[in-house]
Structure 1
Amino acid sequence: MPTRPTLRQQFLRRKPLHSFTTDSSEAGGLRRTVGLFQLTMIGIGATIGTGIFFALDSAVPEAGPAVIVSFALAAVVAALTALCYAELASAVPVSGSSYSYAYATLGEFAAWAVGWCLLLEYAVSGAAIAVSWGQYLNDLTERLFGFQMPAAISAPPGAGGIVNLPGVVLVGLCCLLLVRGAKESAVVNTVMVVVKLGVLALFVVVGATAFDAGNLLPFAPMGMAGVSAAAATVFFSFIGLDAVSTAGEEVRNPRRTLPLAIILALVGVTTVYVLVALVGVGAQPWTRFEGQEAGLSVILGSLTGAGWPAVLLSAGAVLSIVSVTLVVLYGQSRILYTMGRDGMLPSAFHRVSPRTGTPVFTTLLTGGFVALLAAVFPLDLLTDLTSMGTLVAFAVVSLGVLILRRTAPNLERGFRVPGYPVVPILSILACGYLVYELPLATYLLFGGWLALALTVYLLYSRRNSCLETTDTARTLEETPA
């Protein structure tokens, strides 16, 4: 009779690499229906949210025209992590994202903790953006029809709203689409992403006609300190690229497609951001950005002397929220699906509809949780907590690259991080620096969140883990000494 593993062994046991391949090819699992273009659009759709439509209003006053450099610096930091995601996604092409990568490299409890961090990144950020949909929808309907919904049902809770119905409706519609199938959801997301990229491209084209190089001087009035501050402000406009890795089991030829989609999404997002920033600061003096709301709309309006730019930009913001919410719910449900398959959550999370090939229960539960947050919770205090969870997950992925290169040097990889080991080390340091900049209250909330994770793990997950219920001898053999 095998010996029951100790708590330390349970914490540190790692899931064998061959198990990931076996699990992803199981009968009745997720279906591989997503191609490279659609997957790239998932990454772009999750990353380009409403932030770029309004980011210049807060970033330009910090850095001046050098905000262009700030976007480039933020892109470099994002690229460090994106390259690490690309390698691990090609080596472990499953749906669990950094949860699965941690399970293969750092051990079971680290994976469980990362899974809880991803709950923060996806669920809370999804609710935070869904709750603002009513405001942007009101802005659009006001411009088109002169009508607005009452603030009590459309404004965020704590800011004049009581129950945010548009946020709930948005989450519900996204859930219904996701339940129908991954392919259908990817197609709809692709259409919305193409439309919002078209809106931003229009801004670049029209704004370029009024480009004045004199507006770029002085280029860095606040010095490098201002450039760095603005880089920190705009960095979180790059969060979302990791959503690509949650589609690992629904992608055709994942070892090639996953890393390529991550890199293409990063290049696409960076190009859009830098062009919008360059045209924005070239079209008007940088001193006019401070206190300027809906900056892109104002710039286009002043250039054309018409009201249609504001309508167009508002429509772009509305579509941005829809596409980001769709991808967030998709990514969250796939992570929970993987955790259910590993026994870390009840088996219902792993159940897939034989008709649609989607985890219906997990999708609806995720949607219900996000809708509840969007409906009644003021989410301002949770913004930094979301950032903490995201950065921890990013750092774990970079650390996973270092560990897997040592423990499985011959593992098939569709992509290898260039400049190894410098790139993953720099990624960890960059994430650590941004974590250091977060306020004390965030550390306290995050500590409480991890304490809750530990409680659930001790009471349920460690006893129901698939590594607990399969061959114990093999499990112990996989455990680091």
Structure 2
Amino acid sequence: MKKPLKFWDLVALEIGMTIGAGIFVYMPIAYKSAGVGTIVAFIFAFLPMAIIMINVMLLGSTLPTTGGTFKYGAFLFSPKVAFLGLWAYLFGAFVGLFPLNALALASYMKGIWDGISVLPVALIILAFFFVVNLLGLKMASIVEIVFVALLFVAIAIYTVPGMSKIDSRNLEGLFSKGLGSMVYASALLTFTFAGSNAVIELGGEVENPRRNLPLSVLLSLSIVLVCYLLMAIVSFGVGKEIMINGNLNDVASNYLNGFLFYVFAFGGPILAIATTINATYMWGTRSLLALCRLRVFPSKLGLVNRRGTPWVLLTIIWLLSSIMLLSVGESGLNLFAAFASIGGIAVIVPTMFAVFRLKKSETLRKMAPAIVRRKLFIFIPILGV
């Protein structure tokens, strides 16, 4: 396959997959538990996910391949466990993550344009990003870079003016809610750092993956952490009382007016969700494509067009997601969320166990980054598990 993904394509993809609806949904919930201690909880949530991502990227840089989510677990750990994990992952994406994000995006859009109907708009959103990805990975990557750039503009509009409106008294008592509340908030916020692991699905289409995969993940996760901390400090410092029953748009309305408010309302939550949908389409076909090439599925399902897009698989994903959305409707938000979270957890397990093989196999040890050959390396996959 072609290798159209360069370093900054990966960074945009990883940020787009990571900053999604979660930060706008989970931060107010975490605040109700940990108060301003949610700021510290973000750091605690970042650490385990960073360890998991380091493990995943060690595999990706050692054995870059298309469909790595399945291949690493299958060939380095257990084919049966990897196969079950992959199906849970893909099931969670197709009938959970896609309809969930499309519905959430349409709901946010309705908050700006009250006259729209949520379900038809959600279906149009799925169709739009399907067409974008049908035009090729490079086109989808360009759209992702543009959307992520606009997302950063929206975050800057929220945080920079908000800094001058912070009341320092609102940020006192970081640990006043107790350790239990902090742990709960950290566990909840861990999901806001998930998503970057999806790039191992595209390892065979990455330029210089040995360098670009690990470096891009380290950079993107660090950028995401800084963005989250700035947004949390502004949200709690400006709107401590508002955050109890409100959201980030309610906080922003205290110091943003007119055009700037609408730029944040549109460019913040709406583009955050849009980048996640686009990125999920980008990686969603790759493990299925690997299974087609291994003859587990009929090879004709893995046909690619002249732009390198596995168009049959992409079409199936779009149709399944749209049918699920039509079948369950607007009331299915909680159901979609449950499916999405289950899939995300299931696929990580075989991948984490596969990392142990990097140390045990002499051939893989020679191919892997230098850190694998250090004595203390074994603690990295142990912590990941």
Fold match by TM threshold 0.5: yes
Q: Deviations over 1:426-461 (max 9, x none)?
A: 221xxxxxxxxxxxxxxxxxxxxxxxxxxxxxxxxx
- Residues 37-436 of structure 1 correspond to what in structure 2 (within 5 A)? 37-123=8-94, 124-142=96-114, 148-150=115-117, 154=118, 164-285=119-240, 287-292=241-246, 295-304=247-256, 306-316=257-267, 317-353=269-305, 355-377=306-328, 378-408=332-362, 409-414=364-369, 416=371, 419-428=376-385
Paired with 1:109 and 1:349, the residues of 2 have a C-alpha distance of: 22
Paired with 2:366 and 2:333, the residues of 1 have a C-alpha distance of: 42
1:90 and 1:258 in contact (8 A); partners too: yes
Structure 1 residue 346 displacement after superposition: 1.6
Deviates most, 199-208 or 407-416: 407-416
2:132 and 2:140 in contact (8 A); partners too: yes
1:139 and 1:314 in contact (8 A); partners too: no
Q: Deviations over 1:406-434 (max 9, x none)?
A: 13443412474685222221221xxxxxx
1:94 and 1:249 in contact (8 A); partners too: yes
Structure 1 residue 386 displacement after superposition: 2.8
Structure 1 residue 258 displacement after superposition: 1.5
RMSD, aligned α-carbons: 1.9
Paired with 1:204 and 1:331, the residues of 2 have a C-alpha distance of: 31
Q: Could you say which structure has the greater relative contact order, defined with CA pairs below 8 angstroms and 6 or more residues apart? A: 2
Paired with 2:29 and 2:261, the residues of 1 have a C-alpha distance of: 19
Residues 394/336 of structure 1: CA separation in 2 closer, same or farther (3 Å cut): same
Structure 1 residue 379 displacement after superposition: 4.4
Aligned to 1:452: none
Structure 1 residue 367 displacement after superposition: 1.2
Structure 1 residue 43 displacement after superposition: 0.6
Q: Deviations over 1:264-315 (max 9, x none)?
A: 2211111111121122222233x442111xx2222221124x2445422321
SS at match of 2:174: coil
Residues 303/89 of structure 1: CA separation in 2 closer, same or farther (3 Å cut): same
- TM-score normalised to the size of structure 1? 0.75
Paired with 1:191 and 1:414, the residues of 2 have a C-alpha distance of: 32
1:208 and 1:279 in contact (8 A); partners too: yes
In the alignment, residue 104 of structure 2 is paired with which amino acid?
A: S
List gaps (5 residues or longer) in structure 2.
Answer: none
Query: Identity of counterpart residues, as a percentage?
Result: 24
Paired with 1:201 and 1:171, the residues of 2 have a C-alpha distance of: 28
Paired with 1:406 and 1:195, the residues of 2 have a C-alpha distance of: 45
1:204 and 1:275 in contact (8 A); partners too: yes
2:285 and 2:310 in contact (8 A); partners too: yes
2:40 and 2:174 in contact (8 A); partners too: no
Q: Deviations over 1:240-278 (max 9, x none)?
A: 111221211211112211122222221111111112112
1:43 and 1:240 in contact (8 A); partners too: yes
1:206 and 1:300 in contact (8 A); partners too: no
2:31 and 2:243 in contact (8 A); partners too: yes
SS at match of 2:121: helix
Paired with 1:411 and 1:246, the residues of 2 have a C-alpha distance of: 23
Q: Radius of gyration: which is bigger?
A: 1
1:80 and 1:423 in contact (8 A); partners too: yes
| Count of residues in correspondence between the two structures | 377
- TM-score normalised to the size of structure 2? 0.92
2:62 and 2:367 in contact (8 A); partners too: yes
The structure in which a higher percent of residues are helix is 2
Residues 127/411 of structure 1: CA separation in 2 closer, same or farther (3 Å cut): farther
